[in-house]
Amino acid sequence: MIRRILLTGLLALGAAGPACADPLCDGARPTLSAQLLFGLSRPDGGLIPQRAFDRFLAERITPRFPDGLTVFSGRGQWRGPDGRRVHEAARIVLIVTGATPEAVAALRSIKEEYREHFAQGAVGLVLQWSCALF
């Protein structure tokens, strides 16, 4: 329920368009900035190979966001079910796009497809309002 309320609020603000743009944007376009947080550890202790991640990026993410994205290498940490801290290599994909229902649905699909395809317990998705000039 909370997710629906937040999504409705995000989309309502996006639908308002440039007339209601944040004055801090100063001519920049109001956008949605999305960060997808992908862990690279498998449950069996192995790692997701770079080639497999690159294939997922090329086949599942890029076609949905062909205008561009940025991939960062990182090291994440999270609290496991037993309360212990877990560290793992990660990839962060940053996508700046219009705040549309289709974009949010595509991001959620990517998140779930990665989780299922690579047997991940969770995949992070962070959505923020932003201003962008390209």
User: What pLDDT score does 80 carry?
Assistant: 82
Domain ranges across the chain = 2-16+27-132
User: What pLDDT score does 20 carry?
Assistant: 53
User: What pLDDT score does 46 carry?
Assistant: 94
Among 37, 113, 98, CA closest to 65: 98
| Tokens coding 75 | 């090291």
Q: pLDDT tens across 49-100, in order?
A: 999 999 999 999 999 999 999 999 999 998 888 999 989 999 999 999 999 9
Provide the b/e sequence for 92-129 (b: ≥16 CB within 10 Å): bbebbbebeeebbebbeebbeebeeebebeebeeebee
- Global pTM value: 0.80
Fold of the 2-16+27-132 domain: Alpha-Beta Plaits (3.30.70)
Q: pLDDT tens across 39-52, in order?
A: 999 989 999 999 99
User: What pLDDT score does 12 carry?
Assistant: 46
